[in-house]
């Protein structure tokens, strides 16, 4: 009876192994390079939208690197970090409009200096980029034109499309010049409901009062940098220069709106410190060098695993190939921006994926040396190696998290690809490799092909 169950287990594992290989082939098509991206979808009658290119960073694709410094010497800003975060959001919206996919815009604080780093991959017109980015954010409160109701119920969190809301509003009379601050508050009558408190200067309060008198029952458009962020309805005339924005929004959305309002209100000048144009030829050279290094590492690992571990090593290489295919597919699906450091993280994770297999095979060898049959030895090898694999990978994931939290953009790219690679390697080592090993079993199989090529042979049926 046990032999029959064992045979069924092996047969089912072989079916699963075949399905894994088919899935890997499908993902390999998804990962395919440029030539296949053009021809594979059409050959299989698939839409081209399923194929997407890898997102390359500035060092691989080329582009523009800009460093700005903020000048707070003429402004009274209680929270400079929050002001810079808001400024970053505004600049990010600008470069998105400029046509840059996934730009890098980050704040860097060195001593008393606040800097804004902007990387625009693929952008060659550096002067136009500088001109477009270097403007100070603007905050405007606008009245709706007569007879217009298009923005009723507007929610910037879900608004999509190419609608130009500027055409529905009159020119602004109330701007960030008259705005003091915005704050996140919570409705005292409805628990855990975020609201946004806004405060105007004395002159701004009078302008806002007149505006609300004219627009009871109608929305007022709040624009930052020409983009409509919110259009709250006026329920009654508001005096005193203080108002509250309510709505069905989350705490995160309310925080972002507060930050954007404050950034639009604060005239934080930014001056260009440095500019650098990265040529595409340099990016291509870096990419080719990285790919050569990855291929060389993979071939060396393949030779070692097959020579040292024989059949398990060969199956581990197959699992490692599937690991690479899955990881690259995730890079595309998640939208990871690949840089030289990111590719280094991926190559390092390949070594860690092999390390898990080595732990398993060494444990399995110990069990075979004690005279256990093949399948129980395999199962025991995986069980005994699991704790070591878990502990080493969890510690590496913690390290990746710390690097991402504290590191700059380059370090974050390395940490991201390393973390993804580690998680996928745990899956392939404990699931794919295990499936392939059990699927390779045959009745009365010799253990010779499951022992190291450089250890004493011990034949056991």
* Residue pLDDT tens, the chain, 461 long: 445 445 546 677 778 878 888 888 877 777 665 555 555 555 555 555 556 677 777 777 777 888 888 887 766 667 788 778 877 877 777 776 666 656 778 888 877 888 888 888 777 777 877 776 766 667 889 998 877 766 655 555 445 456 777 888 888 888 887 888 888 899 888 888 899 999 998 888 999 999 999 999 888 989 887 788 888 899 999 999 999 998 888 888 888 888 888 777 765 778 888 888 777 665 677 677 777 877 888 888 888 888 888 788 888 888 888 888 888 888 888 778 777 788 888 888 887 778 888 888 888 878 777 777 777 877 787 888 888 888 888 988 999 899 888 776 678 888 888 899 888 888 888 788 888 887 877 666 556 665 555 443 444 43
Rounded to two decimals, the pTM is: 0.61
Based on the fold, state whether residues 72 and 178 are members of the same structural domain.
yes
Who's near 357: CB < 8 A, 6+ residues apart?
Answer: 305, 312, 316, 319, 320, 429, 433
**Which of 241, 258, 275 is the C-terminal boundary of a domain?**
275
- Residue 357's nearest CA partner among 321, 317, 327, 400 is 317
- Residue 365's nearest CA partner among 230, 246, 271, 457 is 457
Q: Is residue 190 part of a domain?
A: yes
Q: What share of the chain is helix, strand, coil (3-state, %, to 5)?
A: 55, 15, 25
Q: Is residue 120 part of a domain?
A: yes
**Strand, helix or coil for residue 265:** helix
Give the range of the structural domain holding residue 445, as residue numbers without chain letter.
2-55+279-450
Exposed / middle / buried, residue 415 (Cβ in 10 Å: 0-12, 13-18, 19+)? buried
Q: What is the pairing mode between strands 337-338 and 55-56?
A: parallel
Q: Could you tell me if 306 and 317 are in contact, meaning their C-beta atoms sit under 8 angstroms apart?
A: yes
Based on the fold, state whether residues 269 and 306 are members of the same structural domain.
no
Q: Could you tell me if 265 and 176 are in contact, meaning their C-beta atoms sit under 8 angstroms apart?
A: yes
**Which of 275, 295, 323 is the C-terminal boundary of a domain?**
275
Cα–Cα distances in Å, from 120 out to 61, 105, 410? 10, 9, 14
Q: H-type helices in 52-109, by residue range?
A: 58-61, 80-97
The count of C-alpha atoms lying within 13 angstroms of the C-alpha of 459, restricted to the half-sphere facing its C-beta, is 3
Q: Is residue 88 part of a domain?
A: yes
CA distance 100 to 104: 10
Q: Is residue 311 part of a domain?
A: yes
Q: H-type helices in 215-279, by residue range?
A: 251-265
The sign of the torsion formed by the CA atoms of 392, 394, 399, 404 equals: positive
- Residue 112's nearest CA partner among 66, 89, 80 is 80
CA distance 263 to 114: 15
| Structural tokens at position 313 | 């090593």
For residue 34, the domain's CATH number is: 1.20.1640.10
Which helix (H) or strand (E) segment holds residue 277: the answer is strand 270-278
- The number of distinct structural domains making up the chain is 2
| Structural tokens at position 122 | 């693929």
CA distance 385 to 412: 30
Based on the fold, state whether residues 75 and 165 are members of the same structural domain.
yes
CA distance 263 to 283: 35
Q: Is residue 340 part of a domain?
A: yes
**Which of 275, 301, 326 is the C-terminal boundary of a domain?**
275
Based on the fold, state whether residues 134 and 214 are members of the same structural domain.
yes
Based on the fold, state whether residues 256 and 311 are members of the same structural domain.
no
Model pLDDT, residue 155: 54
Based on the fold, state whether residues 388 and 309 are members of the same structural domain.
yes
CA distance 231 to 142: 9
Based on the fold, state whether residues 119 and 15 are members of the same structural domain.
no
Residue 244 φ then ψ, to 5°: -130, 135
CA distance 215 to 237: 8
Based on the fold, state whether residues 73 and 43 are members of the same structural domain.
no
Q: Is residue 457 part of a domain?
A: no
Based on the fold, state whether residues 169 and 217 are members of the same structural domain.
yes
Based on the fold, state whether residues 218 and 155 are members of the same structural domain.
yes
Q: Is residue 461 part of a domain?
A: no
Based on the fold, state whether residues 252 and 339 are members of the same structural domain.
no
Q: Could you tell me if 116 and 87 are in contact, meaning their C-beta atoms sit under 8 angstroms apart?
A: yes
Q: Is residue 455 part of a domain?
A: no
For residue 251, the domain's CATH number is: 3.30.1360.200
Q: Could you tell me if 117 and 272 are in contact, meaning their C-beta atoms sit under 8 angstroms apart?
A: no
Based on the fold, state whether residues 421 and 314 are members of the same structural domain.
yes
């Amino acid at each position: 009876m046990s032999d029959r169950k064992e045979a069924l287990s092996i047969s089912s594992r072989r079916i699963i192994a075949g399905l894994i290989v088919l899935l890997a082939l499908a993902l390999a098509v998804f990962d395919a390079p440029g030539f296949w991206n053009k021809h594979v979808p059409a050959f299989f009658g698939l839409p081209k939208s399923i194929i997407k290119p890898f997102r390359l960073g500035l060092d691989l694709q080329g582009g523009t690197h800009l460093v700005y410094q903020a000048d707070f010497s003429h402004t009274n800003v209680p929270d400079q970090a929050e002001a810079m975060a808001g400024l970053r959001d505004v600049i990010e919206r600008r470069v998105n409009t400029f046509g840059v996919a996934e730009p890098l815009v980050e704040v860097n604080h060195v001593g008393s200096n606040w800097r804004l780093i902007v990387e625009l991959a693929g952008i060659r017109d550096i002067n136009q980029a500088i001109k477009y980015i270097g403007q100070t954010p603007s905050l405007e409160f606008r009245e709706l034109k007569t007879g217009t109701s298009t923005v009723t119920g507007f929610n910037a969190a879900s608004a999509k499309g190419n609608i130009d809301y500027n055409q529905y509003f009159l020119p602004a009379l109330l701007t960030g010049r008259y705005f003091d601050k915005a704050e996140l508050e919570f409705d005292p009558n409805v628990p855990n409901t975020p609201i946004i408190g806004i405060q105007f200067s004395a002159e701004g309060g009078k302008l806002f009062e007149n505006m609300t008198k004219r627009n009871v029952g109608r929305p007022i458009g709040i624009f930052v940098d020409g983009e409509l962020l919110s259009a709250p309805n006026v329920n009654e005339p508001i005096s005193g220069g203080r108002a509250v924005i309510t709505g069905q929004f989350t705490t995160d959305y309310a925080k972002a709106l507060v930050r954007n309002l404050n950034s639009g209100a604060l005239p934080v000048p930014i001056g260009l410190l440095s500019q650098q144009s990265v040529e595409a030829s340099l990016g291509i050279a870096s990419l080719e060098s990285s790919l050569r290094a990855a291929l060389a590492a993979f071939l060396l690992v393949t030779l070692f695993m097959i020579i040292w571990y024989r059949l398990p090593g060969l199956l581990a290489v197959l699992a490692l190939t599937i690991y690479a295919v899955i990881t690259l597919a995730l890079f595309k699906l998640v939208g990871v921006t690949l840089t030289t450091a990111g590719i280094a993280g991926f190559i390092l994770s390949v070594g860690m994926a092999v390390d898990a297999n080595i732990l398993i095979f060494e444990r399995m060898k110990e069990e075979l040396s004690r005279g256990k049959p093949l399948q129980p030895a395999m199962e025991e090898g995986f069980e005994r190696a699991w704790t070591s694999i878990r502990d080493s990978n969890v510690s590496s994931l913690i390290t990746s998290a710390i690097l991402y939290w504290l590191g700059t953009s380059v370090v974050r790219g390395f940490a991201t690809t390393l973390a993804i690679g580690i998680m996928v390697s745990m899956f392939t080592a404990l699931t794919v490799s295990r499936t392939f090993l059990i699927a390779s079993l045959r009745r009365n199989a010799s253990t010779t092909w499951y022992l190291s090529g450089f250890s004493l042979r011990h034949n056991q049926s």
